[in-house]
Amino acid sequence: MMVRKGGTRLDKVLRQKYPYWVMVIGFFMGFVSSWALILGLKRGGTSPVYSFSPSSSARVGNFSATGFANAVDKVYVINRDVCTDRWETSKRFAEAIGVELTRFKAYEPTSEELLNPPDGISVRGLKHDFLTTGMLGVYISHRRIWRLVVENNFEKVMVLEDDVFPTNQTWLHLPGLLQHADEAQEFHKKSWHYMFLRRNALGNVKKEKTWSLSPLGHPVTIATPSWGTAAYIISLAGARYLWSASKEGQYPLDVQIADIQKRNEDDFVTLSACWNDQFQPRCPETVFKFEKEDQGDCKRSGTQAGSRITRATLKEKLRELDAKL
């Protein structure tokens, strides 16, 4: 739905935070689009299943998502070589609904690279208490995906870490959700860069302003600074922006992005596709986390893995290196 210029009633609706009419219109659109998609899937000979149970394996039903292939150019899953069970779990869920995943081999830095990271990253301004090779590996892996987006001129990609997967509802309504978000760019006179599918909000979600409507009836909002790199969609403009804005590694990546949000609120447009009017931390309605039995031996956060150096020690070693030059 294109938003017309001028002072129309719809313009006034979008300027509100959580207006009543957004919920009414969104619910109606969600109902109509849901049945349109369901009927389209049934013509293909498959029946959609909307399971939403505590078990991760039960949250991926027997419906085909092939009709959503053009919603994003790629679905990348960042996966370490040692975490084969996580990758196999991701593939099993994706194959059940016809989604094609692209495995991105997680970068695993050496301890020496803590002082001199690749890709032009500098950690001289580190503000976090410590740095691990796992933390740096996550940072580099995401940035290299952003570089791929730019090099291949991808319009949008979905990025998943290897212990989460979008719910049925997210896959089913993804085309409509992104279409509404794109069309709203004309109204807002700016492009969006980054869309959280899973996040921990650091601010008051109730104060977030509506960006666009959603087929599910829950508004897509302009996100308050949030931690969330486990599941997101990034646009070409967002990949360009973050590649440049993240050269100074100061925090773990999710914290760094929240900091970029705080410092560049007008220039870096981040959205949230969670059910923001009924917000729950980590957005279990849009993305679910794998159960422990689906993760194999990789049950710990990748950011805590590997060698570790404190900020004080890092600065001392960098001074020693500088003195030798």
What residues make up the domain containing 38?
A: 11-294
Is 89 within the bounds of a domain?
A: yes
Cβ neighbours, 10 Å, residue 15:
11
Average pLDDT, the chain: 83
Structurally, how many domains does the chain consist of? 1
- Structural domain contains residue 325: no
| Residue 141 burial by Cβ neighbours in a 10 Å radius (0-12, 13-18, 19+) | buried
Phi and psi dihedrals of 216, rounded to 5? -85, -5
16 falls within a domain: yes
Assess if residue 173 is contained within a domain: yes
What tokens does 148 get? 């791929």
The verdict on residue 196 lying in a domain is yes
Encode pLDDT of 151-176 as tens digits: 999 999 999 999 999 998 899 999 99
Outline where DSSP puts E strands in 117-163.
130-132, 156-161
Strand, coil or helix: 34: helix
Whether 313 is in a domain gets the answer no
What predicted TM-score, i.e. pTM, was given to this entire model?
0.81
Higher pLDDT, 26 or 166: 166
Hey, what's the torsion of the CAs at 19, 24, 26, 32, to 10 degrees? -170
pLDDT over 90 (residue 3): no
Tokens encoding 134: 């796992």
